[in-house]
Amino acid sequence: MKDGIEPLKKLSRAIAPVEKWLPQDRVPWVIAGPCSAESLQQMLATARGLVKSSHVKAFRAGVWKPRTRPNAFEGIGAVGLDWLKAVKDETGLPTATEVANTEHIELCLKAGVDILWIGARTTVSPFSVQEIANALRGVDIPVLVKNPVNADLGLWLGAVERLFDVGIRKLAALHRGFSTYVETEFRNPPNWQIPIELKRRLPNLPLICDPSHIAGVRHLVEPVAQMALDLGITGLMIESHVQPDEALSDAKQQLTPKDLCRMLERLRARNATVTDRDLKRHMARLRSEISHIDAKIIEDLAERMKWVEEIGRLKQQHNVPVLQLGRWENLLEDHIAKAEKVGLDAEFIKDIFETIHAQAIKRQL
């Protein structure tokens, strides 16, 4: 692809590995803590529970909360930074919080916060991201960039680039899912293809998954975390509160420290690299079958397009419209029925044939 991949490769190579700023002796490695700092007692009690798991490497808490509507709890403010410091002094855990403007950054740097993150509602605004980047020029601090709330890879990449341009090298992307108008089982569906594409563009950029915001409800946090591990994502950010039901924000998705620690023991990490020779050979055989089928699909598509173009010429000679809705609807119905019989997902087949049909129309215009 020619869309600026070269400069991104350079950027990717210069990014510091996570072990430069957080220990990497456990998979998953986890940044955990309450959605919001609410009181010193709540912060310390949560941290005391979390530190029992050796997976937990840093403590998070939101101090300034961007809320969708006014009159919700908008965060405790700067006093929360003192509580983060108290957590660090007692547990030794590095601390992390969200920043959205210059003032937040100045206060965090003064209070000795170790890791900053940029929230999903901030990543959507290049003005805000640039303001943050300018305030961080010359500062050596890890910055995690949450994906923008909307499914826009460009904004996510742009935010990483703005921070890189002011000298931040301890960077990571934080995947918290994407907002959607339609109801789904998730609060913010993961759209895994977007973080996967981000990883393809910036292979060295550490990717952290935030299953709490993707799930939105407690019982889905574990399956989403497991999906992230199955994909090979080793870092997680998870919300935890000593009394989740009483939480002033995100009450439904927070886990007690005890439940979180237990969950971390149940999660299964995958081995990062394939070393076993037999396994390697077996995988290579399967991949050659897959490549063979891919080649067939491409040949068949090329042949399909030849017939499409021929019918297109015929339509032109006889003044017949290119789009034939009846035929298209029949085809789609047939294909979906056939696909379901062989165990393929209807939506998947619909997406594929919509793409093929769009191309078929283009070829006839």
In the complex, the residues that contact ligand ISJ under the rule CB under 6 A are 308, 311, 323-324, 327-328, 331, 357, 360-361
Torsion of the alpha carbons at 8, 10, 13 and 18, rounded to the nearest 10: -50
Report the residue number, 140 or 329, with the smaller CB distance to ligand ISJ. 329
Residue 363's CB is within 10 A of a number of other CB atoms, namely: 15
Q: Would you give the DSSP letter of residue 233?
A: -
**Shortest distance, CB of residue 323 to ligand ISJ, whole angstroms?**
5
Of 191, 196, 131, the residue nearest 159 (C-alpha): 131
**Shortest distance, CB of residue 294 to ligand ISJ, whole angstroms?**
20
Report the residue number, 40 or 361, with the smaller CB distance to ligand ISJ. 361
**Shortest distance, CB of residue 325 to ligand ISJ, whole angstroms?**
7
Report the residue number, 1 or 325, with the smaller CB distance to ligand ISJ. 325
Question: What CA–CA distances, in Å, run from 159 to 136, 148, 174, 297, 361?
Answer: 13, 9, 12, 37, 37
**Distance in angstroms (rounded) separating the CA atoms of residues 191 and 362:** 27
**Shortest distance, CB of residue 20 to ligand ISJ, whole angstroms?**
52
Report the residue number, 24 or 324, with the smaller CB distance to ligand ISJ. 324
**Shortest distance, CB of residue 331 to ligand ISJ, whole angstroms?**
5
**Shortest distance, CB of residue 214 to ligand ISJ, whole angstroms?**
35
**Distance in angstroms (rounded) separating the CA atoms of residues 135 and 164:** 13
**Shortest distance, CB of residue 298 to ligand ISJ, whole angstroms?**
16
On whether the CB atoms of residues 58 and 94 are closer than 8 A, the answer is: yes
Report the residue number, 10 or 318, with the smaller CB distance to ligand ISJ. 318
Report the residue number, 295 or 320, with the smaller CB distance to ligand ISJ. 320
Question: What CA–CA distances, in Å, run from 293 to 86, 280, 288?
Answer: 59, 20, 9
Report the residue number, 115 or 308, with the smaller CB distance to ligand ISJ. 308
**Shortest distance, CB of residue 7 to ligand ISJ, whole angstroms?**
38
**Distance in angstroms (rounded) separating the CA atoms of residues 52 and 230:** 25
Residues 6+ apart with CB under 8 A from 129: 118, 122, 123, 158, 159, 162, 163
**Distance in angstroms (rounded) separating the CA atoms of residues 284 and 282:** 5
Residues 6+ apart with CB under 8 A from 137: 166, 167
Cα distance between the two ends of the chain = 26
Q: Which residue is nearest to ligand ISJ (CB)?
A: 360
**Distance in angstroms (rounded) separating the CA atoms of residues 292 and 73:** 56
> Cα dihedral sign for 175, 176, 181, 186?
positive
Report the residue number, 188 or 364, with the smaller CB distance to ligand ISJ. 364
**Shortest distance, CB of residue 308 to ligand ISJ, whole angstroms?**
5
Report the residue number, 153 or 361, with the smaller CB distance to ligand ISJ. 361
